[in-house]
Chain A
Amino acid sequence: MRPRLLLLLAALTVAAPAATLGAGGEVVIYSARHYGQEPAFEEFSRQTGIQIKTLNGEAGQIFERLRAEGDRTPADVLLTVDAGNLWNAARAGLLSPVTSAELSRNIPAHLRDPEARWVGLTMRARTIVYNPRRVNAGELSTYEALGDPKWKGRLCLRTSGYIYNQSLLATMIRRHGEPRAEEIVRGWVANQPTLIAGDTKIIEAIAAGQCDVGVVNSYYLARALKKDPSTPVALFWANQQTTGTHVNVSGAGVTAHAKNRANAVRLLEYLSGLQAQQMFADTSLEYPANPKAEVNAIVKAWGPFKQDDVNIAAAGEFQAAATRLADRAGYK
């Protein structure tokens, strides 16, 4: 048993780096986004002959691996959810700028890094959801107004450690400055929100009547509605009269030491194009970052909305401040 085991292990070790190359070469992705991209990847490989190798992980840890591997990293592309993650990867010098007319054409400017080190590929809105049996849409208006005492005990929120909440808070700091943002968060906390780990769980809690309003990413509600169209949870576009609804992205950049840079750029361009964007929209029920692609029917039913057009790089820039602010305000 033992020698054979060692042999197997040795094989594992050796086989990994020596994986076969396709005709068009390969592109290696470190990914902290784990859902919905597979169909687009397969199609890319089919069209170009370029093989895609992916290693999934948690964003913070993948950055560490990339950093530790330095100029010898096998990774060509870093793919991750959340603009804050992208911003931090860029700041740590893990990404290199890409000038591509195609990317600039396909993806709106506020969803791209001002210095072209990363590009948003899908967009998600983090907005208010409510139980239409217990709440009239007319009672809702803004994120800020969720601090109104009328929501006391009726609010469900994700914990503050959750990255999408940090990014929401970060853009609020950018918009309103830290003192005002803290006031808003204190308003939420004063309403004694039920803190739930998981957007899907928040939707379930609202459906069951545990709370009446919450804040979630749009695609989680789309998934819940796809599973059961009668789910009694509706979407409300927050801040339409003011700053617009907070949006975030998942996106990618080419690593600083990419060995297959040309292939990597080609992949990003493909992913920003109409065909791949359509696949994203239908698989993960996010908004395509490319405005020419059609949103899925479930998502379309929510209608168009005004986005907060502050450049989402702010999510990264103010993320640490957002975390501290939440701690100070007692938002756990």
Chain B
Amino acid sequence: MALPVLVVLGSWHEPAADVWRHLWQTQLGELLANTLLLAAGVGAGTLLVGAALAWLVVAYDFPGRRVFEWALVLPLAMPAYVIGFAFLAMFDFAGPVQTALRALLGPGVRLPDLRAGWGVVLMMTLVFYPYVYLLARVAFREHGRTALEVARSLGHSPQRAFVTVILPLARPALVAGVALAMMEALADFGTVSTFGYRTLTEAVYRVWTGMFDRTAATQVASLLLLLVLALLAIERALRGRRRFTRAPRAAELPRRTLAGWRAAAAVAACGAVLALAFVLPVAELIAWALALPAEQRARRGFAGLVGSTFVLAAASAVLVGALALVLAYARRLRPSRVATAAAQFASMGYALPGAVIAVGVLAPLAWVDRALAAAAEALVGHRPGLVLTGSAVAVLFAYAVRFLAVGYQTTESALGRIPPTLDEAARSLGVTMRGALRRVHLPLMRGGILSALTLIWVETIKELPATLLLRPFGLKTLAIEVWERTSESLWAEAALPALAIVGVGLVPLLLGSRLDAGRR
């Protein structure tokens, strides 16, 4: 699983000194600053929005809370490049909002240009905060009443209890969510290139396509790994030796009912986030789709596209989810530095640009494939084609490399909250390891596993570069359809497949929240 990451690191063995000298002289400082700013901005933004909204829907009651509770996950289904483009279309100088403002207030009126660091951070915060929200909601709920009651019996106000007890207890979940958001921000190319914001990932593509130097491009990409390592190290250092587990049978939090202006403020906060991150871009996409003549909205075989996207997403969720569970569980059974490091290493693919990972998958796979073909040729005599390269296997392998982090972080944070004493209790009752997993851990982790599957599913649907490069003939997903059209600036024609991406992404989000609700 770590092979593609190793391929990336292996790029260093061919020196590309002149490219580095060039980057150093012209822009490396700016690239690093921009990249760090982006990661920090998205980290802070998603933490703030995700944790605040999660606490709001878990601890309080206000009009519409039941709807907001699941609806606030929806922006996860919105690819960042799509919301970015929708916002640009709406709020750009030539867009309807500014045009109307100029008509009303005079030709000199301008809104600040979205094509800047803050614009990119805003877009990514709006669609990545659900990582934090989803994980925090589960954690807040599980810590539940006991923690709060203890805190209050010690004389803390609810607000203070939240800050001093609940928040620290939910820390692994928050960290996992923020880490995912930051890694995804680091790996993003679509949004930063649309917004003209130069990051390391953007530079990877520029060196690759502009200087035709894939080796140097891959080396630039490996800087991203360094950044992630640094972030993880900082987090480990801050966490220290503390461990975070929950009481196994924590009761539901008693919700406080909000009234008056407080209720209005809660509704406004949830409503505003949802409107910006989901309603607005979806409305824009619908408007684009409707503005097209009916026969141009979708090409032939659209249903097939939805179908293949669906199958791939499901397969990826099951496969990567299972892998993540195995890894997380192995680490729990035999906690060692090596196991931890291996797990971390294997999940770093998430912070790498998809195209880099795709090539990292392609190279070893094609090598094996050609060896196989050569062997077969020697045996049978006729020239066989390649079986692995350009197959569903290759695509799924790439998904596993890329999204293992999503599954692992989520699963691990859920597993981590189960006290080890339970394992010992189960063991002392003569239950086997597998039995313990099935009868103790899995039921307790149910929320976490659902989150993991949901996240992998949604990520798979949005994934473009690896699918594009490694797919077999005839396999096409909705994301590819969107890309084929947007790469030709045909945004209106891309609206319907983009809406379908959101639609297919909603399936597990809605299903998950129903299962989740059914549990309670």
- A residues with a Cβ closer than 8 A to B are 2, 5-6, 8-9, 12-13, 15-17, 19, 28, 34-35, 53, 55-62, 64-65, 68-70, 72-74, 88, 159, 161, 163, 166, 195-201, 204-205, 207-210, 220, 319-320, 322-324, 327-328, 332
Rounded to whole angstroms, the CA-CA distance of A25 and B489 in the bound complex is 34
Q: Does B362 contact A (CB under 8 A)?
A: yes
A-B contact pairs, 21 of them (CB 8 A): A5-B311, A9-B315, A34-B484, A53-B473, A56-B468, A58-B468, A58-B469, A60-B355, A61-B358, A65-B366, A70-B370, A72-B370, A74-B385, A74-B386, A74-B473, A161-B206, A166-B210, A209-B107, A320-B212, A323-B210, A327-B27
- List, in ascending order, chain B residues with CB within 8 A of A199's CB: 489
Known A13-B392, A64-B362; judge A204-B94 contact (CB<8 A). yes
Known A34-B488, A161-B206; judge A72-B474 contact (CB<8 A). no
- List, in ascending order, chain B residues with CB within 8 A of A5's CB: 311, 314-315, 318
Give, as a whole number of angstroms, the nearest-CB distance from A309 to chain B: 25
Rounded to whole angstroms, the CA-CA distance of A64 and B213 in the bound complex is 12
Could you mark each residue 450-474 of chain B with 1 if its beta carbon is under 8 Å from any beta carbon of chain A, else 0?
0000000000000001001111111
Rounded to whole angstroms, the CA-CA distance of A184 and B198 in the bound complex is 23
Whether A16 contacts B474 by the Cβ 8 Å rule is yes
Stretch at the interface among B189-197, B255-263, B503-511: B189-197
- List, in ascending order, chain A residues with CB within 8 A of B469's CB: 57-58, 61-62, 64-65
Rounded to whole angstroms, the CA-CA distance of A65 and B388 in the bound complex is 12
- List, in ascending order, chain B residues with CB within 8 A of A72's CB: 369-370, 373, 383, 385-386
Give, as a whole number of angstroms, the nearest-CB distance from A92 to chain B: 8
Most buried by B among A15, A53, A61: A61
Give, as a whole number of angstroms, the nearest-CB distance from A171 to chain B: 15
Rounded to whole angstroms, the CA-CA distance of A140 and B189 in the bound complex is 35
- List, in ascending order, chain B residues with CB within 8 A of A61's CB: 355, 358-359, 465, 468-469
Give, as a whole number of angstroms, the nearest-CB distance from A330 to chain B: 8
- List, in ascending order, chain A residues with CB within 8 A of B484's CB: 34-35, 56
Give, as a whole number of angstroms, the nearest-CB distance from B298 to chain A: 15
Give, as a whole number of angstroms, the nearest-CB distance from A32 to chain B: 9
Known A9-B315, A196-B196, A197-B194; judge A19-B474 contact (CB<8 A). yes
| Residues 346-390 of B contacting A (Cβ, < 8 Å) | 355, 358-359, 362-363, 365-367, 369-370, 373, 383, 385-387, 389-390
Q: Which residue of A lies closest to B99 (CB)?
A: A208
Whether A34 contacts B487 by the Cβ 8 Å rule is yes
Whether A17 contacts B93 by the Cβ 8 Å rule is no
- List, in ascending order, chain A residues with CB within 8 A of B428's CB: none
Whether B385 contacts A68 by the Cβ 8 Å rule is no
| Residues 21-57 of B contacting A (Cβ, < 8 Å) | 22-23, 25-27
Of the four ranges (under 10, 10 to 19, 20 to 34, 35 or more), the interface on chain B belongs to: 35 or more
Rounded to whole angstroms, the CA-CA distance of A64 and B265 in the bound complex is 53
Q: Does B211 contact A (CB under 8 A)?
A: yes
Residue from A68, A161, A166 in contact with B363 in the complex, judged by beta carbons closer than 8 Å = A68
Q: Which residue of B lies closest to A156 (CB)?
A: B93
- List, in ascending order, chain B residues with CB within 8 A of A53's CB: 473-474
Known A16-B473, A19-B473, A68-B362; judge A319-B211 contact (CB<8 A). yes
Give, as a whole number of angstroms, the nearest-CB distance from A88 to chain B: 5
- B residues with a Cβ closer than 8 A to A are 22-23, 25-27, 88, 92-94, 99, 107, 115, 193-196, 198, 202, 205-214, 308, 311, 314-315, 318, 355, 358-359, 362-363, 365-367, 369-370, 373, 383, 385-387, 389-393, 396, 465, 468-475, 480, 484-485, 487-491
Rounded to whole angstroms, the CA-CA distance of A251 and B164 in the bound complex is 64
Given A53-B474, A62-B469, A69-B370: 19 more A-B contacts, CB < 8 Å? A2-B318, A8-B315, A17-B473, A28-B473, A55-B473, A56-B484, A61-B469, A64-B214, A65-B366, A65-B390, A72-B383, A161-B202, A195-B115, A196-B196, A197-B195, A204-B94, A208-B99, A220-B489, A328-B25
Whether B366 contacts A70 by the Cβ 8 Å rule is yes
Whether A319 contacts B318 by the Cβ 8 Å rule is no
Whether A35 contacts B488 by the Cβ 8 Å rule is yes
- List, in ascending order, chain B residues with CB within 8 A of A163's CB: 209-210
Rounded to whole angstroms, the CA-CA distance of A167 and B473 in the bound complex is 31
Rounded to whole angstroms, the CA-CA distance of A208 and B91 in the bound complex is 13
Known A65-B390, A320-B213; judge A16-B472 contact (CB<8 A). yes
Q: Which residue of B lies closest to A18 (CB)?
A: B385
Rounded to whole angstroms, the CA-CA distance of A166 and B212 in the bound complex is 12
Rounded to whole angstroms, the CA-CA distance of A328 and B22 in the bound complex is 9
- List, in ascending order, chain A residues with CB within 8 A of B385's CB: 17, 72, 74
Whether B468 contacts A57 by the Cβ 8 Å rule is yes
- List, in ascending order, chain A residues with CB within 8 A of B387's CB: 13, 17
Rounded to whole angstroms, the CA-CA distance of A255 and B315 in the bound complex is 34
Q: Which residue of B lies closest to A207 (CB)?
A: B94
Residue from B212, B393, B471 in contact with A319 in the complex, judged by beta carbons closer than 8 Å = B212
Whether B359 contacts A64 by the Cβ 8 Å rule is yes
Residue from A8, A55, A60 in contact with B208 in the complex, judged by beta carbons closer than 8 Å = A60
Q: Which residue of B lies closest to A10 (CB)?
A: B392
Q: Which residue of B lies closest to A73 (CB)?
A: B386
Rounded to whole angstroms, the CA-CA distance of A248 and B311 in the bound complex is 40
